Amino acid sequence: MLAEPPGLGERGSTLFRSLTDGEDNPLVIEVAIEAARAADRLDDLDRAIQGQGVLDLMRATIEDMEKFPEKIEIKLDFRGVLMEGRQQQDNFRKLLAEVQRLKSAASKGKPEAQPQSNQPGLDAQSSVDDELAARRKAREASRQSG
């Protein structure tokens, strides 16, 4: 049985075990690790959206409040959390599709391919920054033409 990476939560552990059961392809295992981490991140983001988790980051002790007797105003903005949640869902979907693609290629006896990008013109070696820049450029071109 394959050793589970440290730090995975309940959902990530379950997903990792199901994706790697009997698996020896190192590419599948690496993508499965990232999919498991993404699953745990989605759970963390969901807790933040539900009003849990984020509030733990903002907890103040009574001693802290006595140091600042004036009114303290805290503003919570969840738009960034919601946007990150959508991005992580897309990332999770792509990782699961990549595991499936790698397993399918292996079962058909095809040589192992490198992970693929779903973005036209971007290969697996492109950095996240390059991908984001390409998306921004495409979005700006779309705005200017429309």
| Distance separating alpha carbons of residues 118 and 94, to the nearest angstrom | 8
Residue 19 banded pLDDT, cuts 50, 70, 90: very high
pLDDT at residue 55 is higher than 50 = no
The tens digit of pLDDT for each residue in 108-144 reads 876 654 445 454 443 444 456 676 777 778 777 877 8
Residue type, 39: A
pLDDT at residue 18 is higher than 80 = yes
pTM of the complete model beyond 0.75: no
Find the helix packing angle between 10-20 and 26-49, rounded to 10°.
160
**What percent of the chain stands above pLDDT 90?**
35
